[in-house]
Structure 1
């Protein structure tokens, strides 16, 4: 450990801690920042208190803690320990505690002064996990207001694209060299071949020795990066089959988050039989893990990433190309111990097009739990915290709205008494609401097993690595009553002040009760069957279920878990329970709402109205109304116009002209003018059209509305006066004629007038306070177009000469002077003009 590059920074770092309480350390892969640094800090007497180190992943937290404990020669859980969700090895003697999975956030919330903590280390901060971003923000808040002696050390493999120095401008910046051996890069795109098949063939070449390795690279452990568990299991099966008899020489080791501790340790450690290893891993192997003997990396270049969809309220899983930063991290794993080789299963050109860094989780994840943490901390918006990146406003708003609907925060986003209890439970707010409400319902319904059953369901929903046993959650009860899940159930029961025989809970669980309980957590996911098209959720999302699944025949469901995938029009149900609608007449009646609805019956040609009992967007019951209230009729017309478009209205030439004038007014005059685009008109139907719809009973009457006049009546007096003055419908000629002006879509204003009436005009008239020149369409005495000009002076001096020659012969009775600009205008023949002049 004394040979790793980070040792060169130990003295400067120790000095920096004496004068700075915020330090940023940039140290590439292999520098020893996750192991040698905290190991050395245990011997620094000036750190008078415990050291907390945040690792984003559970596997890394356990691995790092075990390694440092071994280096100190102590038992894990003594001087060095770890704490992750569902597993911990700590004692009152622990001085270095490696934590993850929101544990740090919980510690800060429980003890804002962080009593006994001297330093918090944030490792692998460049991975931008949501819990890391939130933990750092809360730690900075504690440091600035309660503990100015608290040290914060933020460590990252790279600062590229990471705004740490902006968030902590006074922090001391230290940089370390990485310790890595040269890694030769190779590229092999699959072309038209299936990428997983191509990856399997590439791995078999390396394992069989057929693939040529660069000079100096030993055939050690092969680390392969894949998107997820499904691909790992599929590829492991293919390779095992292809290796055949040689399989005895190769240890195939999966490595992903859902694996148990023993299987994860097997992937990290040397093979007990001395076999060569093939480690098939997700992107968790990018972090602070040391995998024995890795000299070869095969990278699929793919990651399965969840992105929250605010429309449906769930996260959509999709395969994504990794970033350049991630590809660098993965390649670096091959050079930790010796010269290595990384085979990238894409082209060099693709590498150059990849994003520089991964998108932070706060920008794409569900934010409900974070909103509850913010409420518990006493802030009303994420922006009040010193976060590395802002959250999307729509995702944040939806998170607060869900907490409010679950009665966990009030209208001012303050934690309610129920919200305080929910936060103490330490689970997702939806599940916390189910647990707390189940305790109340158990008393009302005199059912002592109801709350324990809720705890079992919550453990199933928070569990990892469940087998596929269909969508019915009752098929998974045994997984919620055994192992770590049972331990979690008992912890929740203790916090609720309850106890139960879990075997009895599993044995006596009734599907009707499961539907009730899940509805407390997912009221927006109560679903109604819709024939062959699956189910419609209360939030308006369509979901489907395999026809062979028994739940597919249920009239109503509660969907606890469903997913969206690219290329599918509806979500896929993963976990659900049958729902008894009679609960909506009892303890869940508060979820329903009576709503009067009116619509236009196309077949009958008239309006119909009904009173609906609704649950979200689900209509549970309909009762016909004998008469249609005016307000309902107006709302129905507006719905119809919005769904079918403005084409149902009388959008005649007058309407087009008022719209063109208003658009020009907004462009040339400034100020607040109505938006006359289709989107703008539809958005403002309530303002300009709705007041006139109450008496409209059929389509003919709708079509008869003078929409141009209605739109103009929506202007205030000042707007009307300014529009008529600056952009009039007619132009007053000296002859007394009010010549019409046509406003066109390209912004041109066209004045149509007989040429003789334009005599005496030296320049083209202007509108809009001098900002718009009229384009003059000059007509013959027979009202035929002669010329089009926006520069009257140039026309008189040039083209008019040719027009005059031609028109004198065709219209000899009319005036065609040589000096039109100096001639009095007329709308009569020469004889009548002279007679008028004589008079």
Structure 2
């Protein structure tokens, strides 16, 4: 069914084309123009669409103008771009098309800068700004259409923005137009998410690009930068026109730039291009070279959105840098990974925008098969704290909204736990007033929390921690050095052997000035360490004992410093940046903090706990009273009067560590029980596994006074094992498997039931006069007869038979060895004895 207020889409499309052709500077021969009619039709009929158009088709700068010219909406057209540079460039190009300046019909808003007016009809914004607009005005008053450009990049803000817009359009604004545009995207799932909307495809127009691979793989030990620099030199020597080189980050760009200087031909200009550069430097990389040729060293910022003029050659390092968040460590880190096939295709396409091109790849053709198809969506790998806060403000959980990809439940739970720790949500996950304040600040919730509590004094540190490190990678981790570089750049350079990045310093100072205007009211003065602790209460580190500077963090994780760092001997620090290693993170930024500062900030979270635990290292129960802040111990004392029950419980862990060793008596008792259990009697299971599994039930009452491995070594388990049987069970056991055999002398000889047959061992002379064989029920005992020296001389299960047969030979042998002991000819008539004959007899 046509939407309310329907007008003929063909007329709309024709009106749009006429309007565009009238505009100064508009190239109406771009491939995207062929897709405008079906696109306008889809938006007019359905209000939503997905547009696929390859790089260079013109979608970014043509589609919003076409929508405006077609009169699809009376409201403003909002277009989202993933990067500030792309947002500015797109707005300025559209304004130029209209013969205007940015801020008139077409404007833009990015962090820290806005060029809009009352006359603005198309507004290009970075993605996070849409979320702010929605949270402050859920109906998006005055907005007629939202266009998600470069949606294939699947940024977290784009996913959230689309989910919120779909909910708004479904519940509040059925007139809100929604368009997702992409260059490389599996469009079907997006179209289904948006309500099975039409997919419009622009075939685009690109020139052939010849791809040249390496002949053989790089040596695994080879560094990326020298290999890439050599490939760039080769590309420059073999080609003409501008060269676009893709690298993972600023560090690699700077190192390749240094390697290329002096090696490229005269008139070849090297232009770095990355997101943190100032806009003027970015413009220099984008604009065509006025003389000679240029080599642009760029991050993935140049894959899409931007048109870098006069590029004929692409050199691809085959690496991409992505943010990865580990919910187990609660830390995010940047990792460098192989590009995906989609990214490699995007990069290659940059060489064929205006003429036939060449693409040099720093990998072999055979290695290409191992590349993944698409990069992961940011929602799958990023820190979700900001997303969790936005959803809490919206009053929803991830499953309540139409996300193309649902966030990982573990990572999302970690994000909610962080917000609860910061006081942004309550125990039920509902946003608090403090959380609403944090959501209005353009910062990560940690830094917003710090700014909200400390006021303008925290703006400088917030801007610093939100940006990249202004100091070189190898400098000490002390955060105070960074603050010194911000406050006195000139003096810092004179006093220190390392220099700060001027562009980064200026950008941080400008951002700090902006944040001061958004900060909360003034608060009592705090040190940088106290401010950092407000943002990172879970990363307050206590140095472990030992020579190496290892720290346990208040959140329970571990972190390590370089041995020679200035903070290596600090007792307490606040860690503000790590490499994110989940096993033991390496500290990249930190500041020393005093215990009194911690107590002043977190007095209500510091408390005593009593610990009674088994120490494997000391092999004993250790009882201590500890004053804790999270997982770190501020004070540690011996717990002299620890209850005996606590000690016994701790000793159970010691038993599990040391294992159960049975004495001979205990082993014989267990063997009796297991023998009768096997015969069907209802007795406790005393197999080794069963004893260990139930140790808390049968052993705990008997462990009083046992504290060490030595105590346990001397401990007799027999009473505890006997305690597992009640009186009736003991009677049944004694009847079925008696513990002892009573000798003719009246002595009790323990019966061993652990072998194939019950067995006893005793002196041969003690059995004199025994004319029947000892029995357990109907089972004969295996009897081992011993010499006076305690050595076995005969094992028999027929005492009468032994007396009648083998005894004579034993007597003959033993009389000579033990003449003082009786060896009667007829042992059945002799008296049992354990005594020797008196000397001289």
**TMscore range, shorter length:** 0.7 to 0.9
Secondary structure, aligned partner of 1:159:
coil
Listed as ranges, the matches of 1:435-584 within 5 Å are 435-438=451-454, 451-464=455-468, 466-468=470-472, 470-477=476-483, 483-496=506-519, 498=521, 513-530=527-544, 531-534=546-549, 535-564=551-580, 570-584=584-598
Task: Give the equivalent residue in structure 2 for 1:585.
Answer: 599
- Displacement of 1:548 in angstroms is 4.2
Contact 1:126 1:159 survives alignment (8 Å) = yes
Q: 1:27 to 1:693 in 2, by over 3 A?
A: farther
CA contact (8 A) 1:607 1:628 kept: no
Number of the residue aligned with 2:256: 235
2:649 and 2:85 map into 1 onto residues whose CA distance is 57
Q: Which residue of 2 aligns with 1:224?
A: 245
Contact kept in structure 2, 1:518 and 1:558, CA below 8 Å? yes
Measured at CA, do residues 403 and 632 of structure 1 come closer, stay the same or move farther in structure 2, by a change above 3 Å? farther
Q: CA 1:63/1:112 → structure 2, altered by over 3 Å: closer, same or farther?
A: same
Give the greater-gyration-radius structure (CA): 2
Q: Is the 8 A contact 2:606 2:629 kept in 1?
A: yes
Aligned ranges for residues 353-368 of structure 1 at < 5 Å?
Answer: 353-368=370-385
Is contact 1:460-1:479 (8 Å) kept?
A: no
- SS of the residue aligned with 2:363? coil
Task: For residue 467 of structure 1, give the secondary structure of its aligned residue in structure 2.
Answer: coil
CA RMSD of aligned residues (A): 3.7
1:693 alignment partner in structure 2: 700
- What's the counterpart of residue 823 of structure 1? none
In the TM superposition, what whole-angstrom CA distance separates every residue of 1:679-714 from its partner, at most 9, and x where no partner exists? xx99x97x98478536433567699879x999x99x
In structure 1, the residue matched to 2:624 is 610
Partner of 1:773: none
In structure 2, relative to structure 1, the CA distance for the partners of 1:525 and 1:694 (3 Å cut) is farther
Q: CA–CA distance in 2 between the matches of 1:107 and 1:592?
A: 40
Matched, 1:335 2:352: yes
Residue deviations 1:21-79, cap 9 Å, x none? Answer: 22111112222111121222221223211111111112211111111111111111111
Provide, for residues 724-773 of structure 1, a one-character-per-residue CA deviation record: whole Å limited to 9, x for no partner.
xxxxxxxxxxxxxxxxxxxxxxxxxxxxx9xxxxxxxxxxxxxxxxxxxx
SS at match of 1:34: helix
| Residues 318 and 565 in structure 1, CA contact (< 8 A), matched pair in contact too | no
Give the distance between the partners of 1:196 and 1:255, measured in 2 at CA.
16
Q: Within 5 Å, which residues of 2 pair with 1:41-52?
A: 41-52=67-78
- Pick the aligned partner of 1:261 from 260, 275, 279: 279
Shift of 1:430: 0.8
Q: Does 1:18 align with 2:44?
A: yes
TM-score, normalised relative to structure 2: 0.72
- Alignment partner, residue 818 of structure 1: none
Q: Give me the whole-angstrom Cα distance separating, in 2, the residues matched to 1:133 and 1:654.
A: 69
Q: Secondary structure at the match of 1:342?
A: strand
Could you tell me whether the CA contact under 8 Å between 1:29 and 1:157 is conserved in 2? yes
Q: Distance in 1 between matches of 2:341 and 2:572?
A: 47
* SS across alignment from 2:624: strand
Which residue of structure 2 aligns with residue 191 of structure 1? Answer: 218
- Decide which of 631, 634, 638 is 1:620's aligned counterpart: 634
CA distance in structure 2 between the partners assigned to 1:281 and 1:60 by the alignment = 14
CA contact under 8 A between 1:473 and 1:576: conserved in structure 2? yes
* Structure 1 residue 249: Cα displacement: 0.9
Task: For residue 144 of structure 1, report the CA deviation from its aligned partner.
Answer: 1.0
Instruction: Report the Cα offset of residue 432 of structure 1.
Output: 1.6
Q: Residues 525 and 539 of structure 1 are in contact (CA less than 8 Å); yes or no, is this contact kept in structure 2?
A: yes
- How far apart are residue 190 of structure 1 and its match? 4.2
Q: What's the CA shift for 1:222?
A: 0.6
> Which SS does the other structure have where 2:276 is aligned?
coil
Greater mean alpha carbon deviation, residues 465-474 or residues 525-534: 465-474
CA apart distance, 1:409? 0.4
Structure 2 distance, partners of 1:603, 1:122, is 59
Q: Following the alignment from structure 1 to structure 2, what is the Cα–Cα distance between the partners of residues 223 and 701? A: 73
User: In structure 2, what is the Cα distance between the partners aligned to 1:162 and 1:636?
Assistant: 59
**Residue 378 of structure 1 pairs with residue 395 of structure 2:** yes
Is the Cα–Cα contact under 8 Å of residues 235 and 360 in structure 2 kept in the other structure? no
8 Å contact kept, 1:22–1:170: no
523-532 vs 70-79, which deviates more?
523-532
Q: How many residues end up aligned between the 2 structures?
A: 659
Residue aligning to 2:60: 34
Which residue does 1:785 correspond to in 2? Answer: none
What is the match of residue 774 of structure 2?
A: none
SS of 1:611's equivalent in the other structure is strand
Contact 2:621 2:651 in 1 (8 A): no
Structure 2 residue matching 1:583: 3-state secondary structure: helix
* Shift in CA distance, 173/596, structure 1 to aligned 2, threshold 3 Å: same
Q: Report the 3-state secondary structure (helix = DSSP H, G, I; strand = E; otherwise coil) of the residue aligned with 2:527.
A: helix
Query: Is the 2:274–2:298 Cα contact (8 Å) retained in structure 1?
Result: yes
Unaligned runs of 5+ in 2: 1-26, 488-504, 674-686, 726-755, 757-779, 781-841
Compute the displacement of 1:338 (Å).
Answer: 0.8
Cα distance change on mapping 1:171 and 1:649 into 2, 3 Å: farther
2:836 aligned partner: none
1:408 aligns with 2:424: yes
- State the partner residue of 1:84: 110
Quickly say closer, same or farther: Cα 1:695–1:124, change in 2 above 3 A.
farther
1:92-145 per-position Cα deviation (integer Å, ceiling 9, x unaligned): 221111111411111111111001111100011111111111111111111111
Relative to structure 1, the CA distance from residue 186 to residue 484 in structure 2 (aligned partners, 3 Å threshold; closer, same or farther) is: closer
Contact 1:251/1:275 (CA < 8 Å) preserved in 2? yes
Match of residue 838 from structure 2: none
Q: Deviations over 1:584-638 (max 9, x none)?
A: 3333212323111112356875422111111222112112112333664466356
Correspondence for 2:136: 110
State the 1:571 CA deviation. 2.3
SS of 1:458's partner is: helix
CA pair 601-45 structure 1, distance change in 2 beyond 3 A: closer
Structure 1 equivalent of residue 676 of structure 2? none
Distance 1:603 1:333, change over 3 A: closer
- Contact (CA 8 Å) 2:235, 2:315: kept in 1 or not? no
Give the whole-Å Cα distance in 2 for the aligned partners of 1:67 and 1:131: 24
Q: Distance in 2 between matches of 1:317 and 1:497?
A: 31
Residue 252 (structure 1) shift: 0.3
What is the rounded CA distance, in whole Å, between the counterparts of 2:298 and 2:66 in structure 1? Answer: 30
**Cα distance change on mapping 1:626 and 1:120 into 2, 3 Å:** same
Report the Cα distance in structure 1 between the residues aligned to 2:618 and 2:302, rounded to whole angstroms.
Answer: 65
Once the two structures are superposed, the pairs formed by residues 670-709 of structure 1 within 5 Å of their partners are 689=696, 693=700, 695-696=702-703, 697=706
Question: 1:654 Cα shift?
Answer: 13
What's the CA shift for 1:159? 3.1
1:390 aligns with 2:406: yes
Assess if the C-alpha contact under 8 Å between 2:333 and 2:579 holds in 1: yes
2:4 matched to which residue of 1?
none
Q: For the Cα contact (< 8 Å) 1:493–1:499, is it kept in 2?
A: no
Name the structure 1 match of 2:230.
201
Structure 2 Cα separation of the partners of residues 437 and 458 of structure 1: 12
Cα displacement string for residues 358-393 of structure 1 (whole angstroms, at most 9, x for unaligned residues): 1111111111111110111111x2222211101111
